[in-house]
Structure 1
Amino acid sequence: MLTAAGFQVLLALASGPAHGYAVMRFVEDIGDGSVKLGPGTLYRTISRLLADGLVEETEEGDPAAPHDARRRYYRLTPEGVAAARSEAALMARMVAAAREAGLIP
């Protein structure tokens, strides 16, 4: 099982390569501002995901973005895709249980 931050990073990268700031913005956007990944949490999480082989650095990036040599882009590995799918399925089962318990409509 992934940490919440780990799943959020994998989810942010599921649609394609992104840099750290884009990942932070994605998480903030999907959480309607109530969920934030600070830089320390983000980069510790990315470091852990890199070590676990779930993400990798890539040369791919947004060609429309201004060039910044310090900006690193990350993408999911096949293992990362599998981990994200597994975690999403677990979360779907948890949401279904919450719905059955009357916690959400």
Structure 2
Amino acid sequence: MSIKKLLKKYIPMTETMFYILFSLQQERHGYALMKYVELLTKGRIILGAGTIYQSLGKLERDGLIMHTKEIDRKKFYIITDTGKQVLLEEVHRIEEIYHTVEGLL
């Protein structure tokens, strides 16, 4: 899928997808990813197994992440260059929103 189509598909991005992609800047397996997102969001976002594995499958199919290895039935993933590009576009979108409302804070 072209980057243009991926951007259209993923931007704006759900918080779940954002945190999954952000977390996969370092290689992680599903459970470690769930715990990392919970830590990052101070418990505000708790990802269930169904959500995480469905999201990982979608992101992998679209080439935003890739499976790197499997150890003791744990599949590890990492963000791809395409995934980084999509994540960065979302960061710019969020940054624009922040600057728009900055005076309200």
TM-score w.r.t. structure 2 length?
A: 0.82
Structure 1 counterpart of 2:98, from 88, 95, 98? 95
Following superposition of structure 1 onto structure 2, how do residues 26-105 of structure 1 map, counting pairs within 5 Å?
A: 26-59=36-69, 68-100=71-103, 102=104, 104=105
More strand by share: 2
Q: Moved runs in structure 1, 4+ residues, more than 4 A?
A: none
TM-score w.r.t. structure 1 length?
A: 0.82
How far residue 95 of structure 1 moved from its aligned partner, in angstroms, is 1.8
CA deviation map 1:30-87 (0-9, x unaligned) = 1111111111111111111011110010028xxxxxxx42100001111001011111
Structure 1 vs Structure 2 CA RMSD: 1.5
Structure 1: stretches of 5+ with no match in the other structure: 61-67
CA deviation map 1:5-38 (0-9, x unaligned) = 1111000012x11111111111111111111111
Question: Number of aligned pairs?
Answer: 94
Structure 2: stretches of 5+ with no match in the other structure: 1-10
3-state SS, counterpart of residue 72 of structure 1: strand
Aligned-pair identity (%)? 30
